Structure 1
Amino acid sequence: MPSRRATLALLAAAAASPALGQTADRPNPMPGELREALERDRNGIVLGNPDGNVTLTEFFDYNCPFCKKLVPAVQRLIGADPQLRVVFREWPVFGEGSDFAARAALAAREQGKYWQVHAGLMAMKDRAAEPSVMRVIRRLGLDEAKLRAAMQSDPVEDHIARSFMLAEHMSLIGTPTFIAGDEALFGEQSFDDLTALVARARKTLGVAAG
């Protein structure tokens, strides 16, 4: 895992470049340093095809109702596109409960249970807060002491810090935000919206659909 110092140095380099636009109308080209920081973080969370020819990044929060609503669309997109690489960025913008949830999910990686915890938190009807998050953790049988220790670890701190720094640099306004190519979309999106975003990204990057 990269050290916090290395993470901050990479983001500082990216911050010297113009920010990413939020709309499809003539978006700014993304500088290489920024794309590297956004898409290729060794401490990131990758699903879909890790060697895919285009990357879709999602910034999300467990207390964001639209993030939860879009889980099936993202899963469908991954299933429909064998060359799609997806990066999840935990971005806890809805306060203390969101921060606790993000830390718990990231810490669960040490026990090989990130995806189970992520799915459990996304499926919750209650607001994400320490009591509701820990109910999910206990139901999944994780070691609570190890989890709480890992919640303060460098990899967890690095992931969350990077999410906030990237979001600030790119002037993101909330969750969910989806980024592909040189374009970002904020808010509720349909499956067709996400498919079109990925298609435009392939055109921008000069790669063919898989």
Structure 2
Amino acid sequence: MCRLQRREFITLGLISGVALSIGVPMARAQDNLMPPELRDAIERQPFSPVLGNPKGDVTLTEFFDYNCPHCRTSVPVIRKLIGDDPHLRVVLREWPVFGEGSEFCARASLASLKQGKYWQFHSGLMAIRGRAEEASAMQVAQEVGLDLAKLQSDMGAADVEDHIAQSMALGDHMGLRGTPTFIAGNDALFGKRSGSELRDLVAQARKDLS
């Protein structure tokens, strides 16, 4: 587990005229706590997939990519974590850093929110064998019963664009090493992680935020 480190003030611009003005260090110099503006940007963007208890007392955020092998193995781990902890809120941040196929899948997955089938589609995309690309993603979309025409239309929506742009901006601002990155409270874990490691991360966040 690493404590998030202090970074310099920056202002990040997002598309669709939405400005993400972080304008604060990543962690305060004196108490090493994440500033509330940054926490809100990570955890509370309106158009973000939320699993578990939407009113939970602590939020675990995962930055992930559909072509990241360790992200794929985290799906059952996150599912069990949610099942074992009724007070946990989980935010999934689509962060397509593995190329064009990853970006297509991220846009399609976010668009599926508008049809109420995000988790089914997300799980299906994570179960793809080989590289996740347009063809394999659309096959999964058909299998889970999505309206394909609506899905493709919604992929270009402003809220889809904003979510991805904000994930990119946050990843750059925080200097994230790659996917998956799990953030809770003032700490982060990078790479493949066990359920016990994530439970410890959440427990520390509860302690810090109480």
The two structures share one fold, judged by TM-score above 0.5: yes
- What is the aligned partner in structure 2 of residue 100 from structure 1? 104
1:197 equivalent to 2:197? Answer: no
- Of 19, 22, 36, the residue aligned with 2:26 is 19
TM-score by length of 2: 0.88
Show CA shifts across 1:82-135 (max 9, x none): 111110100000000000001111111222221111111011112101111111
Structure 1's consecutive aligned runs of 4 or more residues displaced over 3 angstroms after TM superposition are: none
AA in 1 matched with 2:115: Q
Deviation at 1:59, TM superposition (A): 0.5
CA gap 1:176/1:20 in 2 versus in 1, 3 angstroms:
farther
CA distance in 2, matches of 1:27, 1:160: 30
CA distance in 2, matches of 1:194, 1:168: 23
- What is the aligned partner in structure 1 of residue 17 from structure 2? 5
Contact 1:19-1:171 within 8 A present in 2 as well:
no
Q: Where in structure 1 are there 5+ consecutive unaligned residues?
A: none
Q: Give the 5 Å matches for 1:119-198.
A: 119-198=123-202
Contact 2:184-2:201 within 8 A present in 1 as well:
yes
Q: Where in structure 2 are there 5+ consecutive unaligned residues?
A: 1-14
Deviates more, 1:141-150 or 1:89-98: 141-150
Show CA shifts across 1:56-84 (max 9, x none): 00001100000111111111111111111
AA in 2 matched with 1:74: I
CA distance in 1, matches of 2:46, 2:81: 23
Larger helix proportion of the pair:
1
- Of 22, 33, 42, the residue aligned with 1:29 is 33
CA distance in 1, matches of 2:80, 2:119: 16
Contact 1:20-1:170 within 8 A present in 2 as well:
no
Contact 1:58-1:177 within 8 A present in 2 as well:
yes
AA in 1 matched with 2:129: K
